[in-house]
A and B are shown apart, each in its own frame.
Chain A
Amino acid sequence: MTEFSQEFSEPSRKDRVSKFTVASIILIPLAAILFQVYVPRFFTYLQYLELPLLVTVYFALMWRSPVAGVFFGAGIGLAQDSLSDHPLGMFGIVKTLVGYFAASVSQRFDVENSVVRLVLGFFFYFFHQFFNWVLTRALLGQALDFEPQQTIVVAVLNAAVAVPLYRILDKLRVTG
């Protein structure tokens, strides 16, 4: 087989879609949301970890389907909203956008590369926090502060957690 034909026989980046079991798709986001409810009670410093967002980004990247990313992001966001103090839809809208853009980005980058994952984790956390702040100001009329420096630091921490977390989640993929 020639090099040319080998190149054509490999699936394109767009076609390399990961699959997960239904249990993983339900339990992983649920665990991420419950983590936010319980764990910061005992380890206060972990409250900066936005696990539902990291999980949203991961599944959207792996599925490479913007439509799936939209529904997955909306589902996690609304579930998160139902256990938060603000009106339903705030996290839903933001995570819908995150899911869509993460899936769109995955068609152009090698999302299994750790550096790419680190950068995407950082970018999407910052985007999530900024857009959430914009929505809170625009739709709810709450004059909350947005601190870019603090957000960048927390985004780096979240990105650092995302890389090993995604490696663990990779093992839950269904092969074949």
Chain B
Amino acid sequence: VSSTSKRYGCNEGFDPVWRKLEGEFVVFDKNSGDIYCFDRGTRELLQLLQKDSLPAEAIETRLSSILDVEPDEVLVGYVESALRELARREIISVSNT
């Protein structure tokens, strides 16, 4: 399965309450009771994935527009790293289409 066929989406139980604290975001998951700290990019990414499951390329394109940054290799690396971290914390999951 190629990487382009992977789609990322929030796990069903994820039920966040967000608070912005000096440029960073703290989120409480009402389902698990866990608290996480994210930067703005990861917050926007999570909010995208709450609406829809998306492939990495679509996430990069949309984040580039939301954050007003170039869709370059820096953004690609950032998205890869954020997706890996969110999957490790079991906030998102990956499906193959």
Question: Are A and B physically bound partners?
Answer: no
Q: Which residues of A contact B (CB under 8 A)?
A: none
